[in-house]
Amino acid sequence: MQARADQLRRSGKTTAFVPTMGYLHEGHLSLLRIGKQKADDLVLSIFVNPTQFGPNEDLSSYPRSLQDDLDKAEKEGVDAVFVPTDQALYQEGYQTYVQLEKLPQHLCGLSRPVFFRGVTTVVTQLFNIVKPHVAIFGEKDFQQLAIIRQMVRDLKFAIEIVGAPIVREADGLAMSSRNAYLKEYMRPAALSLSQVLQNSRKMVQDGIVDAQLITDRALDIFSAFPEIKVDYISICDPESLDPVESVEGRTLMALAVALEKIRLIDNTILQP
Ligand code: AMP
């Protein structure tokens, strides 16, 4: 992969890169389509990164479908798919981790303490292997995108980071590989996340900007689904992720819940 990248760079070609954990859905494909427009060459990586899973998380059951993913990648005009083994990235004796100080101390980082350190470590490795000019990440994982942007600034990666809007199912559910775990009867509960976000946007449009009021209403909606355990409801600054008391300018509302142990996240921008 590194030799390939060097060769392309020598011939003056640019590379766009989309890192994923596979089990591709329309959300991933939207990133590939953006990448296709942004550079001469398009690289997809598929790697279920063990260092970003906690000991009680779903590493072993994470959905995988390599052949299907390769077919989809080919249809999107991907030029190369990088599928490393665990040993290729974390060889015997591996001991280097990339970690941010502040941004991971919010939202998902609080309940998933090793998650972002795993993400920033693997993305650093992938950037050094694929050597892209531009990399595309989804706003579905808003905190991850903020962390990657910060890391790229701090470590002076010469890579443009592009954020891509959340792709949803027709009923509003944000697409996610983990949706494969959802049983049909869980659908109404799963839909409550996008409903909460839609309702919150409406509240702000109607002039209700108090973060506590918006949060209380969200808790109300979730309380109709006893199988949902709320991890967090955060109304915060979209750059620092620090909580705000009222929605004045562009504000992030981010949610994470467990639905029978299935972790679901979603977010929206609130704008008065
Ligand atoms: P994952 O395979 O879940 O690690 O996701 C790989 C990339 O796809 C990340 O940048 C995600 O933010 C992005 N992604 C996942 N789901 C969606 C979605 N529904 N809409 C847009 N981007 C997404």
pLDDT digits (tens, 9 = 90+) for 84-101: 999 999 999 999 999 999
78 and 116: one domain?
yes
Is 28 annotated in the active site?
Answer: yes
Q: What CA–CA distance (Å, rounded) separates 200 from 155?
A: 36
pLDDT per residue as tens digits for the range 171-194: 999 999 999 999 999 999 999 999
CA distance to 10, 127, 162, per residue, from 134 (Å): 17, 10, 7
Q: What CA–CA distance (Å, rounded) separates 135 from 160?
A: 6
When the pLDDT of each residue in the chain is averaged and rounded to a whole number, the result is 98
3-state class of 78 per DSSP?
Answer: coil
The band of 143, judged by pLDDT with boundaries at 50, 70 and 90, is very high
Determine what percent of the chain is predicted with pLDDT higher than 70.
100
Section 32-39 average pLDDT: 98
| Minimum CA distance residue for ligand 1 atom 6 | 20
> Domain containing 243: what range?
177-270
189 and 133: one domain?
no
Section 151-162 average pLDDT: 98
- Cβ atoms of residues 50 and 87 within 8 Å: no
- Cβ atoms of residues 36 and 134 within 8 Å: no
* Residue 54 lies inside a defined structural domain of this protein: yes
* Residue 171 lies inside a defined structural domain of this protein: no
Beta strands in 114-261 (DSSP E): 134-138, 160-164, 228-236, 251-259
pLDDT per residue as tens digits for the range 98-125: 999 999 999 999 999 999 999 999 999 9
* Residue 172 lies inside a defined structural domain of this protein: no
Question: Domain end: 138, 164, 190, which one?
Answer: 164
In single-letter form, the type of residue at position 251 comes to: T
* Residue 31 lies inside a defined structural domain of this protein: yes
What would the two tokens of residue 21 be? 């954990």
> pTM, whole model, 2 decimals?
0.98
- Residue 148 beta carbon below 6 angstroms from any ligand 1 atom: no
* Ligand 1 centre distance from Cα of residue 30 (Å): 9
* Ligand 1 centre distance from Cα of residue 147 (Å): 15
146 and 52: one domain?
yes
Ligand 1 pocket mutation pick from 31, 32, 159, 173 by most atoms within 8 angstroms of CB: 31
What would the two tokens of residue 121 be? 């470590």
- Residue 76 beta carbon below 6 angstroms from any ligand 1 atom: no
- Residue 176 beta carbon below 6 angstroms from any ligand 1 atom: yes
What would the two tokens of residue 161 be? 């980071």
Which residues are paired to 101 by β-bridges? none
Section 203-220 average pLDDT: 98
Q: What CA–CA distance (Å, rounded) separates 65 from 73?
A: 12
Residue 229: give its domain's CATH number: 3.30.1300.10
Question: Domain end: 130, 164, 198, which one?
Answer: 164
- Residue 159 beta carbon below 6 angstroms from any ligand 1 atom: no
Contacts with 141 (C-beta within 8 Å, 6 or more apart), sequence order: 265
